Amino acid sequence: MQKLSEKEYKNEFVTAFDGDDSGDLKPRQTPGVLYSKATPTPVKDPKLVAWSEELAEELGIEKPDEHDVKILGGNLVTPTMYPYAACYAGHQFGNWAGQLGDGRAITLGEWEAPDGNSWELQLKGAGPTPYSRRADGRAVLRSSVREYLMSEAMYYLGVPTTRALSLVTTGEPVLRDMFYNGNAAYEPGAIVMRVSPSFLRFGNFEMPAARKETDNLKKLVDWTIARYYPHIQGEDKVLTWFKEVVERTASLMVEWQRVGFVHGVMNTDNMSVLGLTIDYGPYSFVDDYDPYFTPNTTDLPGRRYAFGRQPSVAYWNLGCLASAIAPLFPGTEELVAALETYGDSYSRKYLAMMGNKLGLDKVKAEDVQLIKNLEETLATIKPDMTIFYQLLMDLPAELAAEQDVVNHFQESFYEELNQEEREKLQKLIKAYQERIKQNTCTREEAVKRMRQANPRFILRNYLLHQAIEELERGENQLFLKLQEAMKDPYSRNFDEFFAKRPDWASKKAGCSMLSCSS
């Protein structure tokens, strides 16, 4: 185990590419470079609120003392660190936004773990960078708690994600207009240390492509492949790499749909080329099942990034990445063909995932209709997604009467079912029971498969909101409980949280809807 302040950091990204080394934090365009030096702005009183013990153990990092907390708060940069903000572009809500970049994230350096793998350590909320535009580069406690907890929660759910090592408060207020409606207020400031093998996103490749900096683009692609996809070799390595990004992105979308996660801001600058969940803003888990649910006020009324649309948006975003790397190819035919593999890849992975959620021994051709009927029924009756699948695991082998079926799933309903909905549910369950009888595996094996695919605990927005309110009052009991529960999401050990979203939470700001400032 090593102290953060005593480590010799690697800086391979900044060594490999041209950057703006001036350290000037003035917002500006930075053509020709892939990053700009950006030293964190010190804060008044950094205090450690949370520390991911398991992640620290994996990375070989000693729990910080008062001196090392200065690093986590942006008050100390060690001699071997080279703090920088990455320059990237992106399509936001379907529109080209031009240069964006790390506006409130500063990468300190690369930490080599005991197993030889390198991890980028990045502070979010550590002050302005050349890409902050008109913003202050800070983060509030509210958004920082959400990022810290959800990063780790997704890891324990088995969803590919960036991680979070620490959460510190800054002792300084930050002015925020939560819903951009003219009601700005001061909130406690905080900083999260994010950890990932890389924070490279689709937008990193869109930027040099848009500026016609083909040499920078080719160098970045080659470096990315050599560093993060070393198994890819040969003359067609760029095409092979893109195919794997397509495959990883399809897998990530399936995992989001499996657990009911809605990202909220699937802009191309929020899509990882490693297939990780990145940038936790106005996210949410689905409570009542609704394919058109979006937690992001900025996404209304179009609902571009709604739950059911995430897989198709990922395909659109991959198209943007394909366009960005197109200058590296003599023609676009092979690139388009590679992009078009997304549909089949996603469908194959999705059906296999749904088979596991339903406890099927394998997904047959005729099961596709059963799965479609399930989705249509859930979209009609809108039960709590997490609770519905948990109750499905405990479904008696014979449950024929309509009232018995309704009673069994009653705990998952937000509204009483009308007669048409009751009949629809009974028909679905009858078809499901008939299909389960055809399994070649035992019921115990089927239920085991379901338990591994269906989380029992999810970090619901109202729980996060309550934990944030407690922290703002100086209390941390719920925060600590959620930290433990999120590490064991498939068990029944935290059934105090096994409940539907309460009525009050469907209308309260920060529980039902969030903004990009969340």
68 catalytically annotated? no
Using only the alpha carbons of the chain, give its radius of gyration. Answer: 24
Burial per residue of 170-197, b for 16 or more beta-carbon CB atoms within 10 angstroms, e otherwise: beeebebebbeeeeeeebbbbbbbbbbb
Which run of H or E residues covers position 443?
helix 443-453
Q: Enter the tokens of residue 370.
A: 């059963």
Q: Which amino acid is present at 155?
A: Y
What does DSSP assign to residue 42? Answer: P
Cα gap 29→14, rounded to integer Å: 18
Asked if 274 contacts 346 with a C-beta cutoff of 8 angstroms, the reply is: no
Which residue in 20, 68, 102, 269 is the catalytic one?
Answer: 269
Name every residue whose Cβ is closer than 8 Å to that of residue 421 and which is 6 or more positions away in sequence. 380, 381
Q: What is the largest CA-CA distance in the chain?
A: 74
Tokens 């397509």 locate to: 246
**C-alpha distance from residue 383 to each of 288, 414, 418, 436 (Å):** 5, 6, 13, 22
Q: How many residues does the chain have?
A: 518
Please report, for the chain, how many H helices and E strands are present, in that order.
17, 12
Please list, residue by residue across 23-41, b when 16 or more beta carbons sit within 10 angstroms of its beta carbon and e when fewer do. eebebeebeebbbbbbbbb
- For residue 56, what is the DSSP state? H
DSSP secondary structure letters along 95-121: EEEEE---SSEEEEEEEEPTTS-EEEE
**What's the CA dihedral at 181, 186, 188, 192 to 10 degrees?**
40
Q: State the Cα–Cα distance between residues 204 and 217, nearest whole angstrom.
A: 9
| Chain centre distance of CA 386 | 18
Active site residues: 269
